[in-house]
Structure 1
Amino acid sequence: NKNAVSQTDMNLIAYQYFEGVDLMAIEGVSEGLIMTLIAEIGLDGIRKFPTAKQFTAWLRLAPNNKISGGKVLSNHIPKGSSRLKIAFRNTANAIGNLKEGWLADFFKRLNYKKGRATAVSALARKLAVIIWNMLVKGQSYQPPSLYLFLDEKRKIAAAKRIQKQITKFGLTDRDIEITKY
């Protein structure tokens, strides 16, 4: 059928358009965000921003910190919307539904502390910074190695907490029977 949409490999198109930068390497990034990025700003447009901070401010994803006398009075995201901001927020929301990954863990920590709306905004900003660094500076996407260290640190802290509870309740090895499944 001449009107049927042909199957195109968006990963290949994005890889060629962005001069060898693989945006699909970021967990949770889909074709929708890449197509919106190409359509709304393009590679030349994103390179016009000297810093990632200016790019996120243009997207209206950077918090507008109002400080007086060292006290933070307000730090909300400015109002205003664009298709690209919506695409970043939708991608952040999708990452929030993932089970694993350091971006999903970042989202879950913020979601627990501040709520889903704040977590979506913060992760959308983080994604914008990651993509800006990949496209402008040519950095490849690598999840931080510190993340693995923090994961191990959490496991050690959980083991210490359990050990404290065992001693608090005065349990011995005979009282606790651990079975392997």
Structure 2
Amino acid sequence: MKRWMTFGLTIALSALLSVSFAQHDHDHEGDIHLGLMDGAAAVIEPEELAMPPYRIRYTLEELLPGLFGVDVGWDFHTEEGDDHPQLRRVTIQQVFISPRLVGVIEGQEDPIFGAGLPGTWTLIYDPNDPDAVHQHIIFATDFLPSEDNPLIFQFRLVEAVAWDGTALNDSVVYTLEFVPEPASLLALGAGLAGLVALRRRGGKR
């Protein structure tokens, strides 16, 4: 329990640090856009996530020494020419998450996604504040994965309501994969090489 409390505080710090690169995302490029398709809630963009196998890969950055994370933006999809989004509300429900990976809403302290955490997050469109539905989740970990064995977050969209008030079917399961940036891999490789060199020197003595 103590470890999770400490990790939660660290995540809060990383969320504050992440504000700088989140604020640069003025055009929302790369955000996960939520809407509807064939009577069910669905991811509309990006294309990699919207189509089979419903999977997309993100690169982790080193936020603090030994702490890696990435900012993932979320928004409701609006069809071109419409003045309102396809959805009124939707809940993102955690299906699976790798151990030692957590997700926290930008600017908040307590993670909502992670082993033993709430695992649900509801977005509601407010016509009086239409930009409020655009939010960010900081996914972070103190464990550096590999390209071949990424950290995983799987979710589905549930309890969705279309703009006209129609209740929608639940979505398929979507998968976010998290891998380290090349610089982190190089640093890890250098560190391992250094350990090997030290052991060899110790063996010669």
Bigger Cα Rg: 1
Q: TM exceeds 0.5?
A: no
Short-chain TM bin: under 0.3
Where is the helix percentage greater, Structure 1 or Structure 2?
1
Where is the strand percentage greater, Structure 1 or Structure 2?
2
